[in-house]
Structure 1
Amino acid sequence: MEQPSQPTIARIWRGRVRRDRADEYEAYNYEVGIKPLIEKALGVQTFREDREEESEFMTISYWESVDAMARFTGADPTDIHHLDRDPEFLIELPKAVQVLRLLTAHGRGGFKE
């Protein structure tokens, strides 16, 4: 039986929206951005921090390799692929994503080492 792939790469995207549009963006981002990502990545986590004037969203997706990430993005995995309505919602369009090597995960429910 084939072992499931383990993540070795985390891709981190961040974006900020006005606080009064955060709920609307959260729903839109999930439907248009996160759902397709869930189908391709080994795992996806989404975060939201509400501040007085703005909300920051962060998406972390986990990949078996940089090549696997590149197959999803269709090019350089560090390139930003904005959703169609991102210019309407985001305070500024992010210029880059962060790509990190996953060294270890600890605790219950974490990835295997």
Structure 2
Amino acid sequence: MSKKPTIARIWRGRVKRERADEYEAYNYEVGTKPLIEKALGVQMLREDRDTESEFVTISYWESIEAMSRFAGSDPTKIHHLPRDEEFLIELPTSVQIFSLLHSHGNTGGD
């Protein structure tokens, strides 16, 4: 029986628009790939604006305990990537954690 996600952990960060493609590739290799190995699912979103791009990474977990095994005892604490300070306009101070109430249809992705 496959595990069912009950928790969504959401991280947000903004970069200057001219560095968005570079950050997207870096974030995927260094940040998203490790999540893919541990979480039940991962989505990486990007919104381009005139001068900046916002990235949102959503990871799905079967429980707070499972998420804590990956993120540490305080799953809201940010674990910055080595080059985040170089790329991000400001370093996020926390993530959001939501209980997943309903999920319907195809959410896309690979």
Distance 1:17 1:25 in 2: 8
Partner of 2:4: 6
Deviation at 1:74, TM superposition (A): 2.3
**Equivalences for 1:90-105 in 2 at 5 Å?**
90-105=88-103
Instruction: State the AA in 2 paired with 1:24.
Output: E
Distance 2:46 2:100 in 1: 22
Instruction: State the AA in 2 paired with 1:67.
Output: E
Larger Rg: 1
Calculate the TM-score normalised by the size of structure 1: 0.92
Partner of 2:29: 31
Deviation at 1:41, TM superposition (A): 0.1
Partner of 2:19: 21
RMSD: 0.8
> Partner of 2:67: helix, strand, or coil?
helix
Runs of 4+ in 1 over 3 A off after TM superposition: none
Deviation at 1:75, TM superposition (A): 2.2
Question: How many residue pairs end up in the alignment?
Answer: 107
Query: What's the CA shift string for 1:31-73, capped at 9, x where partnerless?
Result: 0000000000000001000000000000000000000000001
Calculate the TM-score normalised by the size of structure 2: 0.95
Distance 1:84 1:40 in 2: 20
Q: Does 1:82 align with 2:80?
A: yes
Provide the identity percentage: 73
Gaps of 5+ in 1: none
Q: Does 1:50 align with 2:30?
A: no
Distance 2:30 2:57 in 1: 13
Deviation at 1:91, TM superposition (A): 0.0
